[in-house]
């Protein structure tokens, strides 16, 4: 894989400039690496030849540079579209760096968020895992700087946001978690290589990296069974910002239920999320000896008010990992998820894959069991 961090730095623009050699190398690869008879992606030179202009004219026209007459820009865009030419985000970022005279290892990737407040997406403002630090470190390994861009800046529009990114030479985007009330994002996707984090963004469907939620619930039930629990209940104890996550937890739980003896199968606690009165009625009726809960705090409070002791009378597994709670559960390293997202993004940029993918890829990280104090082995 081509890595920006492996490039020597330089600020010149001649043939001895390392950045120029890299750009030329990437642009030529489409020609030199294609087997005879196999179609290859169109290059900037292909567009220039068809339009009978210089490559630099094509590059400026595709960036809507005012130096090129509007009629020429439109003609070149039509030719590029017919040939199937797509701007290579990696080359574009390198060229922008060269124009600024900066070192190529400081090319920027964007970490895009849309919370109502600038940092509402990360602790201590939010209790979800923070992928940003791990993404920063992995981006640095590849020679990139990862910078936070906030979509909810006062007066910001989607069009202006995209123009700011392109002007800055930013062509690779990591989309962070969406706020609970927002699940759609409208940007000019064709201009960028994009990877989303988590499953909160529902439209458009992008390549994304997330936790293996099905395996989380599967592991949780299996741990209960291995430790001597038999009547395992499931509680949606708080609303989740991504319904797909809950669906995967529930699918694994129900599959495990099908394997259990009929007398040990329990209906799910009513409500998404459940309320205390319904939980108390369900608990009194079903008498579970262990609970899978999406969030531990409310259920622990309900049980305490009921006079039910944890873990003496009922075991508990928290599906939404929260190491500070002391509950047993499945742990995911958020730094690793952020790093995986950067690796996927850099690969897309290298392969000139921009826009909304026809076949979105999902990269899932499987977690590890974290021993807490809420699920001891039964005597």
Q: Quote the mean pLDDT of the chain.
A: 84
Least trusted range by pLDDT, from 93-97, 152-156, 303-307: 93-97
The strand pair at 362-365 and 208-211 is best described as parallel
What order of strands is seen across the sheet that includes strand 368-370?
A: 232-235, 290-293, 315-318, 328-331, 368-370
DSSP state of 346: H
Express each pLDDT in 39-83 by its tens digit.
567 877 889 999 999 888 888 888 778 888 989 999 999 998 888
- Mean pLDDT across the stretch 272-292? 97
The count of domains in the chain is 3
Decide if 319 contacts 292 (C-beta within 8 A).
yes
What pLDDT does residue 225 have?
A: 97
Report the CATH number that the domain containing residue 53 is assigned in CATH: 1.10.260.40
Residue 30 confidence (pLDDT) above 50:
no
Question: How far is 179 from 181, CA to CA, in rounded Å?
Answer: 6
The most confident of 22-31, 61-70, 88-97, 339-348, by mean pLDDT: 339-348
Strand partners, 173: 110, 194
Express each pLDDT in 193-223 by its tens digit.
999 999 999 999 999 999 999 999 999 999 9
Question: How far is 230 from 263, CA to CA, in rounded Å?
Answer: 10
Question: How far is 174 from 149, CA to CA, in rounded Å?
Answer: 10
Same domain, 132 and 204: yes
Q: Is 136 helix (H, G, I), strand (E, B) or coil?
A: helix
Q: Which structural domain, as residue segments, surrounds residue 270?
A: 213-330
- Mean pLDDT across the stretch 322-337? 89
Same domain, 206 and 218: no
Which value, to the nearest 10 degrees, does the dihedral of the CA atoms of residues 363, 142, 65, 41 take?
A: -60
- Nearest by Cα to 168 from 99, 68, 118, 105: 99
Assigned domain for 376 exists: no
* Residue partners of 190: CB distance under 8 A and separation at least 6: 86, 354, 355
Strand partners, 147: 110
Same domain, 227 and 309: yes
Question: How far is 256 from 14, CA to CA, in rounded Å?
Answer: 65
Same domain, 221 and 254: yes
Assigned domain for 255 exists: yes
Question: How far is 317 from 63, CA to CA, in rounded Å?
Answer: 53
What pLDDT does residue 14 have?
A: 37
Per-residue pLDDT band for 4 (boundaries 50, 70, 90) equals very low
Work out the number of other CB atoms within 10 angstroms of the CB of residue 83: 16
Residue 338 confidence (pLDDT) above 80:
yes
Residue 354 confidence (pLDDT) above 90:
yes
Work out the number of other CB atoms within 10 angstroms of the CB of residue 366: 12
Same domain, 111 and 184: yes
Same domain, 222 and 284: yes
Question: How far is 18 from 93, CA to CA, in rounded Å?
Answer: 14
Assigned domain for 40 exists: yes
């Amino acid at each position: 894989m081509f890595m920006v961090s492996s490039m020597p730095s330089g600020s010149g623009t001649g043939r001895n400039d390392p950045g120029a050699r890299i750009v030329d190398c990437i642009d030529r690869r489409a020609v030199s690496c294609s087997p005879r008879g196999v179609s290859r992606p169109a290059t900037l030179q292909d567009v220039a030849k068809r339009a009978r202009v210089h490559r630099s004219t094509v590059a400026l026209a595709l960036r809507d540079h005012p130096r090129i007459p509007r009629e020429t820009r439109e003609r070149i865009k039509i030719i590029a579209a017919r040939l199937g030419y797509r701007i290579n985000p990696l080359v574009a970022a390198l060229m922008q760096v060269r124009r600024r005279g900066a070192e190529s290892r400081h090319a920027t990737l964007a970490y895009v968020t849309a919370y109502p407040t600038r940092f509402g997406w990360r602790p201590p403002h939010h209790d979800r895992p923070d992928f940003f630090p791990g993404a920063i470190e992995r981006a640095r390994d590849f020679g990139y700087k990862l910078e936070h861009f906030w979509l909810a800046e006062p007066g910001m529009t989607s069009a202006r946001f995209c123009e700011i990114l392109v002007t800055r030479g930013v062509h690779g985007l990591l989309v962070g978690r969406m706020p609970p009330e927002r699940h759609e994002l409208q940007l000019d996707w064709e201009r960028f290589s994009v990877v989303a984090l988590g499953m909160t963004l529902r439209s458009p469907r992008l390549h994304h990296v997330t936790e293996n939620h099905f395996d989380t619930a599967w592991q949780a039930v299996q741990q209960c069974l291995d430790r001597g629990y038999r009547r395992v209940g499931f509680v949606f104890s708080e609303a989740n910002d991504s319904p797909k996550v809950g669906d995967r937890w529930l699918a694994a739980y129900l599959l495990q239920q099908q394997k259990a003896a009929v007398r040990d199968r329990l209906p799910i606690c009513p409500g998404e999320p459940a309320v205390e009165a319904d939980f108390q009625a369900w608990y009194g009726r079903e008498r579970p000896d262990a609970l899978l809960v999406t969030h531990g705090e409310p259920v622990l409070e309900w049980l305490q008010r009921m006079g039910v002791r944890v873990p003496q009378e009922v075991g508990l597994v928290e599906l939404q990992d929260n190491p500070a709670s002391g509950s047993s559960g499945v742990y995911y390293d958020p730094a690793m998820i952020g790093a995986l997202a950067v690796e996927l993004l850099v690969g897309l940029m290298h392969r000139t894959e921009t826009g909304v993918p026809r076949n979105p890829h999902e990269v899932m990280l499987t977690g590890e069991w974290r021993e807490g104090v809420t699920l001891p082995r039964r005597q």
